[in-house]
Amino acid sequence: MARSTIAAIDWLTVLLFLLLVGFGWGNIYSASYGDETFSITDFSQPYIKQLYWIALSVLIIIITQAIETKFYERFAGLIYIISLASLLGLFLFGKNVNGATSWYAFGPVGLQPSEFAKAATALALAKFLSDMQTNINLINHQLRAFLIIALPALFIIPQPDPGSALVYAAFFFPLYREGLAATYLIIGASSAALFILTLIFTPLWVVVGIAIIMLLILIKKRKQKPKFSRYLLTLIVITGFCFSVNYIFNNVFEQRHRDRFNIVLGKEVDSKGIGYNTNQSQIAIGSGGWIGKGWKEGTQTKGGFVPEQHTDYIFSTVGEEWGFLGATTVIILFIGLLLRLLYLAERQKSQFSRVYGYSVVGILFVHFAVNVGMVTGLIPTVGIPLPFFSYGGSGLWGFTLLLFIFIKLDSNRVNEW
Amino acid sequence: MRKLLLYLIIISTGIVFITRLFYLQIYNTSFAALSEDNAIKVLYDYPQRGAIYDRNGKLLVTNQPSYDVMVIPRELKPFDTLEFCSILKISKKRLVKQLNKARAYSPRVPSVVIPQLTKDEYAYLQEKMRKFEGFFIQKRSLRDYYTVNASNVLGYIGEVNDALIKKDPYYLSGDLIGIDGVEKQYEKELRGVKGIKRIQKDKHNRDIGPYKNGKYDTLPINGKDLTITIDENLQAYGQKLMENKRGGIVVLEPSSGEILALVTAPSYKPELLVGRKRSPNFTKLYYDTIAKPLFDRGLKGQYSPGSPFKTINALIGLQEGVVTPQETFSCRMGYYYGRKKTRFGCHAHRSPLSMVPGIANSCNAYFANVYLRIINKYETPQEGIDVWRKHVMSFGLGDYLGNDLSAGDKGKIPDSKYYNRVSEFPKYKWYATRTISNSIGQGEVLATPIQLANMTAAIANRGYFYTPHIIKMIDGQPIQEERFTKPKYTTIDKQFFEPVVDGMREVFVQGTASHLQSKDIEICGKTGTVENFAIIDGVKTQLTDHSVFVAFAPKDNPKIAMAVFIENGYYGARYAGRIATLMIEKHLKGEIERKDLEDWVLSHSLEEEYAKPYSGEPFKINQ
């Protein structure tokens, strides 16, 4: 008989979760209330709906804690397959909202399967990596791991919701933690660097610059007789990469994608058109000053200048109404939660729990980094929500599910010796 | 390493974000300003400008509504410029120019496109205004005049200029401000304070209610009504008498320093400088460089005072003890001085004369004697001149009076430094006779009509004056300002005034203005005939003398003191004397009994005299 795990629940994580959800709701309220009087039955108001979502997420928490730990490991594959099916089902039964077919409509309630697919994928990856036979350094197994990650992403992209698909890059973190060769990291990081450099300068200048650097290295190392062929090959690959990036950016990307990059890179200033969101969001945050304008006192928030403020741009409300101190507090809460979860993941004795924990940290981190980066104008516009904060039932439930499965797994450590 | 990577990434992301927030929220303040512009619209509520009344409570100036077409450049949408221009009757070029100017001023803050529409133009435009997004109409008030006189006193209002907008944040583009006269001098009292309303806007630029429930809004405070010291009847009469003449009349009440009338001629009707007519009319007035209607001769005209100045020299002589009222001086058609017996000319009259007939007959020789005694009382002429100057300046001459008029000039009373400089002292010495013209108010001495009027008031009061001023009451409250309510004493003792006042009385009994005697008013006065020159085609040419007159009445307990200056009016009693006694009669009796005198002034014009120097032909003077 397994011991009760309730006592072993990591209450610090739960506290951080509650703080984020509670503060998030306060900001949703500020960003979406109008002249109406507060009525708990007024389902047309986002902040009222969110209150019900929060209440219902308690149900999810209870269920996740009630289920046996073994269940998650055993049924990971099945959950994954159901999740994939639900994603595919969208192409048949999905409801089109704002040009994206990401929703199942159940009467007035919409469900977004992609929010739940993250948890399912995390379970499946954990299951696969923790299998005794899996060796992450075998190309064959690497490909299978990539497939597990890529399938849901591939189903999500054509919805179209490339932002949510991007989140699946987060699974790189557990893979790397479990022993994936550092080469992938190096290649990934340098590709990203080259990509950005190519956009800022022209591909020709980037290639010339790298060639010069290589030449300098060669001159310095000439006594050790370096292999010229390797350098040449690298240069050719880089040249190919840079020019194809240039080509893809100019010919495959759509104009709106190009605009998003150009605005962040400072190559384009357009505060009325495509840059409007980012610009208004920065104005709202910037006008907050040290302590902000106070709850429900934000002029930008009240005026509705920031589009999608209660969903993806909720952080701008925090910035405007709570100022630097409030926004920094939220950043610290998130960083605190992530570090706590990372610590919990590291202390897991089973590989399954560890991989799952790492996946949770990775997913939450990517959401957090991309969302806040976008709202503060650091990275191009990518529409993904801020975990626990942004308005949206599916999102809140998805993150709650993701987090509390891990809390359950962690609490079960008392049974694993 | 594998365990640490994610830790490092998470922590550095946190640092990057906090730095970014610091940059956005603390370091870079432009976002806060943008937010203000973005979300809050500021509306202004313009108060009523105060009205202006004359001393008898007659309404002179009040307001009429006017409408400005304003634009907020960034809210402009493409519109039918042709229709817009035809409604407002402006050229497209002008519209484009105005819009560019507005954009340069600020894309967010309203600017004036077309100022001061009339009611009819407004009514027509108002219906069409919906079509032109970005434009709106701001109601303001223009001045409405109930008098055709005193334009030089009242001044006018106009759009505030860019330099002032930068200097004083109260004013915004299109605001009206007093530019001259009382309007300028009492701008702060008259304008009141604008009310401010802040409106929260949404992203569609729609108003969604008062910002913070109107916590920061203010109500407009109406301007204060002013009562000025001018007597509109007297002012009107003065302006009537001055038609076809150039010069100024300044009338004071000696017991208070209040300015009863301030006439400059030629003048213009105040309504000429209202609204859209202002600009073309102002240009016309401004470029009339011959008649100079915008030049207030009463305040700014600096002339040699001429013989009225002799009264001051008589007073100084008595105060310095160098002459007694009884002492006589002979005059043989002038005063002769120096080795060469230089003649300082005078006219025919009986001789010798003591002080009272000396003043009454305006004997140059008498005052040459007195003046030289004053200067020569001291060891050096430098010392003498400076003592003399100190006495003169105590009458408010030679410096600004410190009044509340928007224009003025210092005049000139020379000192020893001046004579040292022009005579190249100490290389060459100079003597009292070098300055002998000062004895009769010619030469280096200059004064404005208001200074002469004030000097006369000081004599009328026997030794003190109140600084002349134009303001009587603000919002019904009499002014308390010490500079206007506290008398300023001259350096001459009271007892010395009687012989001089007697002399001025004798001017009307047996002297130079005896034919201007008024039956039952004891007028005291002094004529002046001032030589003057102009440069015509590079040649210094003498023109017909200026006619000057100072007077006060009645002799005891005086009610009125004044100076009249008529350019090229020939001898003092001819124009200035006539006008002065008529003004006194008008003020003290309310009506004119000497109709023949009035008719003479009204029917005589000096326009021919003024045309002479410009005719290009030789001309005769003093006819």
Return the biggest CA–CA distance within chain A.
80
- Quick check: A303 and B202 CB within 8 A? yes
Nearest-by-CA chain A residue for B202? A303
Rounded distance between C-alpha atoms, residue B496 and residue B314, angstroms: 9
B202 interaction partners in chain A (CB closer than 8 Å): 302-305
What average pLDDT is seen over chain B? Answer: 88
- For B513-526, write each residue's pLDDT tens digit: 888 888 889 999 99
Nearest-by-CA chain B residue for A362? B6
Nearest to B454 by CA among B598, B312, B291: B312
pLDDT at A265: 67
State which of A214-218, B2-6, B249-253 shows the largest mean pLDDT.
Answer: B249-253
Residue B91: pLDDT above 90? no
Substitution target in A183, A280, A287 with the highest count of B β-carbons within 10 Å is A287
pLDDT at A2: 55
Q: Which of A99-108, A150-159, A207-216, B408-417 has the weakest average pLDDT?
A: A99-108
Nearest to A165 by CA among A178, A174, A152, A147: A152
- Quick check: A177 and B6 CB within 8 A? yes
- For A21-74, write each residue's pLDDT tens digit: 999 999 999 888 776 778 788 777 888 989 999 999 999 999 999 998 889 999
pLDDT at B74: 77
B9 interaction partners in chain A (CB closer than 8 Å): 365
C-alpha dihedral, B145 to B150 to B152 to B156, nearest 10°? -10
- For B420-453, write each residue's pLDDT tens digit: 999 888 888 898 888 999 999 988 899 999 999 9
CB count within 10 Å of CB B57 equals: 9
Rounded distance between C-alpha atoms, residue A261 and residue B582, angstroms: 88
B36 interaction partners in chain A (CB closer than 8 Å): 287, 299
3-state DSSP assignment of residue B27: helix
Mean local confidence (pLDDT), B82-91: 84
Tokens found for residue B376: 């020569």
Q: Which residues pair with B552 in a beta bridge?
A: B524, B561
Q: Which residues pair with B137 in a beta bridge?
A: B69
B32 reaches A (C-beta below 8 A): yes
pLDDT at B36: 64
Choose among A173, A185, A300: nearest Cβ to B38.
Answer: A300
Q: Which residues pair with B228 in a beta bridge?
A: B471
Distance from CA of A286 to the nearest CA of B (A): 4
- For B595-616, write each residue's pLDDT tens digit: 999 999 999 999 888 888 888 7
A287 interaction partners in chain B (CB closer than 8 Å): 31-32, 34-36
A373 interaction partners in chain B (CB closer than 8 Å): 17
A369 interaction partners in chain B (CB closer than 8 Å): 13
Share of chain B above pLDDT 70, in %: 96
Give how far the C-alpha of residue A350 lies from the chain's centroid of Cα atoms, to the nearest Å: 25
Phi first, then psi: give them for residue B284, nearest 5 degrees: -60, -45
Rounded distance between C-alpha atoms, residue A48 and residue A403, angstroms: 24
Distance from CA of B4 to the nearest CA of A (A): 9
pLDDT at A1: 43
Contact, A282 vs B31, CB < 8 A?
Answer: yes
Angular region, B448: left φ>0, alpha ψ -120 to 50, beta rest: beta
Residue A266: pLDDT above 70? no
Mean local confidence (pLDDT), B276-295: 86
The 3-state secondary structure of B556-617 reads CCCCEEEEEEECCCCCCHHHHHHHHHHHHHHHHHCCCCCHHHHHHHHHCCCHHHHHHHHCCC
Q: Tell me the torsion sign for CA atoms A190, A193, A199, A202.
A: negative
Tokens found for residue B606: 């000096």
Interface of B with A in 85-114 (CB under 8 A): none
- What is the total residue count of chain B? 623
Interface of B with A in 191-230 (CB under 8 A): 200-203, 208, 211-212
A327 interaction partners in chain B (CB closer than 8 Å): 21, 25
B212 interaction partners in chain A (CB closer than 8 Å): 297
Q: Which of A49-63, B112-126, B174-188, B332-346 has the weakest average pLDDT?
A: B112-126
- For B190-206, write each residue's pLDDT tens digit: 998 888 787 777 666 66
pLDDT at B204: 66
More confident residue, A199 or A232: A232
Name the band, by pLDDT with cuts 50, 70 and 90, for residue A282. Answer: confident
Name the band, by pLDDT with cuts 50, 70 and 90, for residue B392. Answer: very high
Q: Is B412 exposed, middle or buried (0-12, 13-18, 19+ CB in 10 A)?
A: middle
Nearest-by-CA chain A residue for B11? A335
Provide the angle, in degrees to the nearest 10, between the axes of the packed helices A314-346 and B4-22. Answer: 160
- Quick check: B10 and A373 CB within 8 A? no
- For B106-123, write each residue's pLDDT tens digit: 777 778 888 878 777 788
Give how far the C-alpha of residue A21 lies from the chain's centroid of Cα atoms, to the nearest Å: 17
- What is the total residue count of chain A? 417
pTM score: 0.64
Substitution target in A176, A278, A331 with the highest count of B β-carbons within 10 Å is A331
Nearest to A378 by CA among A323, A315, A330: A315
Mean local confidence (pLDDT), B44-61: 91
pLDDT at B15: 94
**Residues whose CB falls within 8 Å of the CB of residue A166, separated by 6 or more in sequence, listed in order:** A366, A370, A382, A384
Nearest to A27 by CA among A311, A276, A328, A235: A311
More confident residue, A131 or A249: A131
- Using DSSP bridges, classify how beta strands B226-228 and B52-53 pair: parallel, antiparallel or unpaired: parallel
